[in-house]
Amino acid sequence: MNALSKRRGGFTLIELMIVVAIIGILAAIAIPNFLRFQLRSKASEGKTNLAAIRTAEEGYFAEFGTYLPTAAFAGAPISSKQAWPAPGAAGNFDTLGWAPEGDVFYQYAVGAAVPAAMAPAVEFHAAAHSDIDGDGMNNDWAYVKPIPGMAAYGGPAPAVGAMCIATGVYDPISTNTTLLETVGPCDNVSGQSIF
């Protein structure tokens, strides 16, 4: 008989229990980290699209001398992706020349301020609003562009949910909402801090 045919044993019960315990420990560490990573990547959609909306608004202003208020979606935000409205149904986003690629987690809107009757809008406040983790706490991002030289936006709020205040987005250094002309979270519970 050769050496291979003499050994007929398999793994012992203790060896199998150790392997199961190691797999359980690895899963307990990996699954929460994976879920946080998923939420961070969903949140990046809001930042990226707001930066694109900002660029589209600046391009529109350069051509027409005014910012354009826009809105898409109505109702409470949900945690799953929504189809972007069809062309012609996306408010002024069609006129602005901006649309996301594919379905979106966030609702988007822009408020534009007109300082006097029949004057062009010279400031705007873009916002993204979602409940990406389905916990009832909204995840809000914004970009606040006031009249040059002013410390706050003076126009109407964007038409989606409770958005950033007019003084700017959340500044993690000062812990105030004072950052202007920066895409950022509306408060300390929006953005990656909650993940």
Q: Look at residue 130 in the predicted model and tell me its pLDDT.
A: 86
**Which of the pair, 119 or 194, is modelled with greater confidence?**
119
Continuous segment of H or E residues that includes residue 28? helix 13-64
Say what the pLDDT of residue 8 is. 64
Q: Which pair of tokens denotes residue 49?
A: 């699209």
Radius of gyration of the chain (CA): 25
Q: Is the pLDDT of residue 117 over 80?
A: no
Greater model confidence, 155 or 122? 122
Quote the distance between the C-alpha of residue 70 and its chain's center: 17
When pLDDT is cut at 50, 70 and 90, the band that residue 42 belongs to is: confident
- pLDDT of 76-88, one tens digit each? 677 888 888 877 7
Q: What is the pLDDT of residues 11-23, one digit of tens each?
A: 889 999 999 999 9
